[in-house]
Chain A
Amino acid sequence: MSQKVTFTWAGFRRGMRLSLPLLIGTAPFGVVCGIVAQGVGLSYLETFLMSAFVYAGSAELVAMATWTHPASPLAAGFAAMVVNLRLALMGPVLAPWLDRLRGWRLWGSLFVMVDQNWALSVRAMNEGERDAALLAGMGLPMLAGWIVTSMLGRVLGAGLRPAPGHPIFFAALAVFICMLVTLWRGRRDVLPWAVAGGVALAVSRLLPHTSWYIVAGAIAGSLAGAVRDRMGA
C-alpha cells in the first residue's frame, strides 16, 4: 500500500451504509442465539452481556449447547477460543490497514471484526480503498444489530417458554447446517468433517453434559484434514 492509510468519519459512514445488507443477513442468527439463551436459563442482563462482549454467534451457540448451572468458565472460555481461532488468521490479512492504526481505532476495529465486515474490507482494500474506518463503520452497526436481535430472541423465548427438546431449538442446528452448506468445498472436506462428527459423537457419549465433544471433534477433524493435506493424499 503505497498511499497513506486514513481513518475518517466519511469512511466510517461509508462502512455504515455497507453494513445494511449484512445486518439483515445476520439478524436471524442473533434471534436464534437469544432464543437459545432463554432456553439455557440466561437472564436478560446475562444475554445482553454475552451478545455485547463476546459478540461471536457460533461461539455463543457452542458454549450454550451444554450450559450448566453454575456455569463453567473454563469450558465456556475454551470452547470460545477454539471456535474463534479462525479470527486469529483474519486480522493479519488486514495488516496494511491495521498496522497504520493506533489506540482505540486499532483495538476497537479488531473488537468489531467479524466474518462479514472482514470479507468486505479485504475486498475493498485489494481494490485500493485506503480508509481503514470502513471496517469499524460496518462493524459497529453490526454489533448494535447483534445485541438488538439477541435481545429480541430472548424476548421471543420468554414469550414461548419452549420446553427443553422443543423443535424451535432446531433453529440453532439449522444455523450451523446452513454454514456447513456455505463452507462446503468438495471432496477435501469429507475426511475432516467425518472425523469431526464421529469423534464428537463418541465424546458426547463418554463425557455427557459437557461441551468438550464439540472442541474434541473440531480439533480431531481439523488435524485429520491438515495431516491428510500435508501427506498430499
Chain B
Amino acid sequence: MSLSPATVAAIVAMALATYGCRAGGYLVFTRIRPTPFLRAVLTYIPGGIFMSYVTPALVHGGLPSWVGAAVTVGAMAATRNLAVGIFLGTAATWAVWGLW
C-alpha cells in the first residue's frame, strides 16, 4: 500500500491531461469548429499511437513477438473479439518463447 510522491504526481498529471481532453475538448470545440486539417490530424492519432507503441516493442521482442503479433491479427480479424485476440496472441508468444 505504498505511495510514491513522484508516482502520485505523475498520476495527477495524467488525470488532469485526460480530463482536459474530455471536458476541455467539449468546451473548446463546441465554440470553435476545428479546421478540417486539425480534425484529420486528430483522427489519425489513435492509429499512430498504437503503431508507435507496437513497432519498437516488436523489433526488440524478436521472433516470439512477431509470431504473437501475427496470431493476434489473425484472431482479431476472424473474431473481432478483444479477449480472443489478447488471449491467443499472448499464448502464441508464450509458446514460441518457451521453445526458443
Contacts and interface: CB of A to CB of B under 8 A. Distances in A.
Interface in A67-98: 69-92, 94-95, 98
A77 B10 contact: yes
B10 A87 contact: no
B7 A46 contact: yes
Given A73-B6, A176-B54, A221-B48, A181 B85 contact: yes
Interface string A52-80: 01111011111101000111111111111
Interface string A178-199: 1111110000010011111111
Max chain A CB contacts within 10 Å: which of B36, B47, B93?
B47
Interface of B: 1-26, 28-30, 34, 36-37, 39-59, 61, 64-65, 68-69, 72-73, 76-77, 80, 82-83, 85-87, 89-90, 93-94, 97
Contact of B47 (A74, A76, A89, A189): A189
Contacts of A85: 21, 25, 42, 45
Nearest to B78: A181
A132 interface: no
Nearest to A180: B50
Interface residues of A, number: 98
A45 interface: yes
A46 B11 contact: yes
A61 to B, nearest CB: 7
A167 B65 CA distance: 8
Contacts of B7: 42, 46, 70-71
Contact of B72 (A62, A178, A204): A178
Contacts of B21: 81, 84-88
Contacts of B20: 81
Interface of A: 25-29, 32, 42-46, 49-50, 53-56, 58-63, 65, 69-92, 94-95, 98-99, 107, 110-111, 113, 167-168, 170-171, 173-183, 189, 192-201, 204, 213-223, 225-226, 229-230
B4 A173 contact: no
Contacts of B8: 46, 49
B57 to A, nearest CB: 5
Contact of B54 (A87, A91, A197): A197
A223 B89 contact: no
Contacts of B90: 167-168, 170-171, 174
A174 B72 contact: yes
A174 to B, nearest CB: 4
A32 B86 CA distance: 9
Please list the 9 inter-chain residue pairs (A to B) with the smallest Cβ-Cβ separation, ordered nearest first: A88-B25, A91-B26, A217-B52, A77-B13, A70-B6, A221-B48, A200-B52, A222-B44, A197-B55
A25 B82 contact: yes
Contacts of A59: 14, 17-18
A92 B29 contact: yes
Contact of B51 (A72, A79, A87, A217): A217
19 contacts: A43-B4, A46-B4, A54-B14, A69-B4, A73-B10, A82-B49, A83-B49, A85-B45, A86-B42, A89-B29, A90-B22, A170-B93, A177-B69, A204-B56, A217-B48, A218-B49, A225-B40, A226-B37, A230-B40
